[in-house]
Amino acid sequence: MELVECVPNFSEGRRPEVIEAIVAVARAVPGVRVLGTHSDPEHNRSVLTYVAPPEAALEAGFAVAREAVRRIDLREHSGAHPRMGALDVFPFIPLGEVPMARCVELARALGARIASELDVPVYFYEAAATSEERRNLEKVRRKGFEELCEVIGTDPARAPDLGPQHVHETAGAVAVGARPFLIAFNVYLGTANPQLAKSIARRVRASSGGLRYVKALGLEMAGTGETQVSMNLTNFRASSIVTVMDLIRAEAARHGVPVTHSQVVGLIPLDALLDAAVAFLQLKDFTPEQVLERRLWE
Amino acid sequence: MELVECVPNFSEGRRPEVIEAIVAVARAVPGVRVLGTHSDPEHNRSVLTYVAPPEAALEAGFAVAREAVRRIDLREHSGAHPRMGALDVFPFIPLGEVPMARCVELARALGARIASELDVPVYFYEAAATSEERRNLEKVRRKGFEELCEVIGTDPARAPDLGPQHVHETAGAVAVGARPFLIAFNVYLGTANPQLAKSIARRVRASSGGLRYVKALGLEMAGTGETQVSMNLTNFRASSIVTVMDLIRAEAARHGVPVTHSQVVGLIPLDALLDAAVAFLQLKDFTPEQVLERRLWE
């Protein structure tokens, strides 16, 4: 069965009844499976994660958007995290064999409904972006709601992809996108000095010339005698977790420092783990169909 | 959902209509998923693999037994493979979190029905064995049908666990068991000389003092410049594929020979691959619940 993941971020992290109402409209759509909700009162923001077949994912996405627009007034919203909308960001993420193009279609369809039925301006980002400049979410959102109110009608570079040429009075604007699954992956080094972790982070991350789909920071781990290379793998099929590990091990070994262990924060797609298993076992001609459980779950 | 795998072996590999009739009665039980059927005309024997919830697996098991008893006459059967019954061997294999004890119960229940309703003597083997001597299937089956006809009523060591003290005239006897999933795993070495493969096989296999749940042979691979360590991992949770690989790599390296690649023949449980992925990535505190797809398939 084709499945996609949706991770709507909305601008409410303090009022449980509002958060629950928004999650409830997603859960009410047949086929939707809610994997979790994370609310941050400091950021006054929540992240809902659900999985569904494409059409149900779209239906639930619109229900979430409508409920967020109804219940959240950005004029009364404060929080540490940058945001431009009541429903702030809505990415579609392909699972299994679903092509990215399918998620781009879904993002475009959701954006069209939000613009026409809710009168909220829509920006498409990442794989759903309409231009290269809009791929990066941060470049779309910039300083958020208050800034966007001023520039949306005057700066052509900030004009929405769909919807009115002004922000919605209470709900602002929304970024709808399609992107690969993001893996949060940390590797620990057997040294208390953070310099090596920082230098490895620079070698491995795209922004310093490293692997194209890796974001990385070198962090201290006070009191543990270790340091951490903290990473987001934003496209594990293109920049493999195996390559990441090989590169970090080689760099660390050159300095006589061992990799003590690693950690996956949250979920990881099976295919990323299969890449690592295939590397360890030197498997040849292995296909995911050989995984017993996949045969059962198809 | 609790699932078990069943791999009935029956003594017909030549008449397609008989093979299909036996497979059909399993498939007809609701909840049963047939993963495959392999028939060997040389051995005049077929192996059916299906997966089902425990009760359905048992129901289908009895249907397979009844159909095999009805349609196969061992007095007219010839083939290279040792066999003692029309339905020759029936193992239950736990999948996922199903405990082995559940499969032992299923084996005992199936054996009881075969003995009482079909009047066929039953031997329990491996985890379902009633004594240590009967754990090994080969020690239960020995020389098969013709020999068993002579000794079953006279040698107390060969008396069945359940059912009549004589073989069924046309259907012989059956071995019903419970065992872990078996992984067929081959590792290739970068040398044409089979001596190292043979020596590694001896080091790694239980029968020569190696890993308890590993069977291994060193084989020539004519014309490839390589040799093969051909293995069955009969309990991958106890004798891990990671340990197997570590041991083979260390032995091969000591002789300056590389492991060129490896190969899984047929299916492999996800947990065995996760062991390898965890080893490669040095993952700490990893739980299988972090595999995205498992969350979807639960």
Q: Three-state secondary structure along A2-25?
A: CCEEECCEECCCCCHHHHHHHHHH
Q: State how beta strands B183-189 and B122-126 pair.
A: unpaired
Given this model, what pLDDT does residue B174 score? Answer: 98
Q: What is the mean pLDDT of chain A?
A: 94
Average pLDDT (B197-217) is: 96
The domains spanning B4-178 and B183-297 adopt the same CATH topology: no
Q: CB distance A277–B282 less than 8 Å?
A: no
- Which residue numbers of B have CB closer than 8 Å to A's CBs? 3, 5, 33, 35, 51, 95-96, 181, 241-242, 245, 259-264, 266-270, 273-274, 276-277, 279-286, 290-297
Q: CB distance A264–B290 less than 8 Å?
A: yes
Residues of chain B with Cβ-Cβ distance to A283 below 8 Å are 261-264
Q: CB distance A292–B245 less than 8 Å?
A: no
For B275-294, how does the pLDDT look when each residue is reduced to its tens digit (9 = 90+)? 999 999 999 999 988 998 88
Secondary structure (3-state) at A195: helix
Q: What is the mean pLDDT of chain B?
A: 94
Q: CB distance A279–B282 less than 8 Å?
A: no
Q: Give the integer Cα–Cα distance in Å for B252 and B193.
A: 12
Given this model, what pLDDT does residue B262 score? Answer: 97
Average pLDDT (B109-114) is: 98
Q: CB distance A281–B285 less than 8 Å?
A: no
H and E: helices and strands count for chain B: 9, 11
Beta carbons of B52 and B44 less than 8 angstroms apart: no
Given this model, what pLDDT does residue B216 score? Answer: 95
Q: CB distance A277–B280 less than 8 Å?
A: yes
Higher pLDDT, B96 or B32: B32
Does the pLDDT value for residue A293 go beyond 90? no
Beta carbons of A176 and A93 less than 8 angstroms apart: no
Average pLDDT (A210-229) is: 94
Q: What share of chain B is helix, strand, coil (3-state, %, to 5)?
A: 40, 25, 35
User: What pLDDT band is residue A143 in, cutting at 50, 70 and 90?
Assistant: confident
Q: Give the integer Cα–Cα distance in Å for A262 and A250.
A: 15
Given this model, what pLDDT does residue B16 score? Answer: 96
- Architecture of domain A183-297 in this structure: 2-Layer Sandwich (3.30)
Does the pLDDT value for residue A116 go beyond 80? yes
In the Cβ-directed half-sphere of B102, how many Cα atoms lie within 13 Å?
Answer: 16
Q: Flag the least confident range among A144-148, A182-186, A206-210.
A: A144-148
Q: Give the integer Cα–Cα distance in Å for A57 and A123.
A: 19
Given this model, what pLDDT does residue A298 score? Answer: 55
| CA distances from residue A19 to A3, A36, A38, A91, A285 in whole angstroms, order as listed | 24, 12, 10, 18, 47
| Beta-strand runs (E) in A139-253 | 174-178, 183-189, 214-221, 226-233
Q: CB distance B261–A283 less than 8 Å?
A: yes
B82 token code pair? 């040792």
Given this model, what pLDDT does residue A45 score? Answer: 92
Residues of chain B with Cβ-Cβ distance to A267 below 8 Å are 290-292, 295
Q: Give the integer Cα–Cα distance in Å for B124 and B99.
A: 18
Q: What secondary structure does DSSP assign to A240-298, as a single string?
A: -HHHHHHHHHHHHHHTT--EEEEEEES-B-HHHHHHHHHHHHTBSS--GGGBHHHHHH-
For B148-175, how does the pLDDT look when each residue is reduced to its tens digit (9 = 90+)? 988 998 998 899 999 999 999 999 999 9
Residues of chain B with Cβ-Cβ distance to A258 below 8 Å are none
Does the pLDDT value for residue B214 go beyond 60? yes
Q: Give the integer Cα–Cα distance in Å for B200 and B205.
A: 9
**Is the ipTM value over 0.90, yes or no?**
no
Beta carbons of A264 and B285 less than 8 angstroms apart: no
Q: Give the integer Cα–Cα distance in Å for A241 and A253.
A: 18
Q: CB distance A293–B264 less than 8 Å?
A: no
Given this model, what pLDDT does residue B296 score? Answer: 72
DSSP B179: -
Secondary structure (3-state) at B169: coil
Give me the CATH topology for the region A4-178.
Formiminotransferase-cyclodeaminase; Chain B, domain 1 (3.30.990)
Given this model, what pLDDT does residue A266 score? Answer: 85
Q: Give the integer Cα–Cα distance in Å for A254 and A277.
A: 25
Given this model, what pLDDT does residue B289 score? Answer: 87
The distance of B86 to chain A (nearest Cα, Å) reads 28
Residues of chain A with Cβ-Cβ distance to B260 below 8 Å are 282
Does the pLDDT value for residue A245 go beyond 70? yes
Closest-CA residue of B relative to A243 is B281
Q: Of A3, A270, A281, which is closest to B291 when you measure between CB atoms? A: A270
For B63-99, how does the pLDDT look when each residue is reduced to its tens digit (9 = 90+)? 999 999 999 999 988 877 789 999 999 999 998 889 9
The distance of B130 to chain A (nearest Cα, Å) reads 30
Does the pLDDT value for residue B247 go beyond 90? yes
Q: Of A51, A267, A276, which is closest to B277 when you measure between CB atoms? A: A276
Catalytic-residue membership of A166: no
Higher pLDDT, B64 or B138: B64
Q: CB distance B267–A292 less than 8 Å?
A: yes
DSSP A187: E
Burial readout A90-119 (b: 16 or more C-beta within 10 A, e: otherwise): bbbbbbbebebebbbbbbbbbbebbbeebe
Q: Give the integer Cα–Cα distance in Å for A268 and A275.
A: 12
Average pLDDT (B251-264) is: 97
Residues of chain A with Cβ-Cβ distance to B186 below 8 Å are none
Domain edges within chain A: 4-178, 183-297
The distance of A242 to chain B (nearest Cα, Å) reads 8
Q: What are the φ/ψ torsions at residue B96 (nearest 5 degrees)? A: 55, -125
Beta carbons of A208 and A251 less than 8 angstroms apart: no
Test the A interface: residue of B257, B280, B289 with most A CBs within 10 Å: B280
For A158-188, how does the pLDDT look when each residue is reduced to its tens digit (9 = 90+)? 999 999 999 999 999 999 999 999 999 999 9
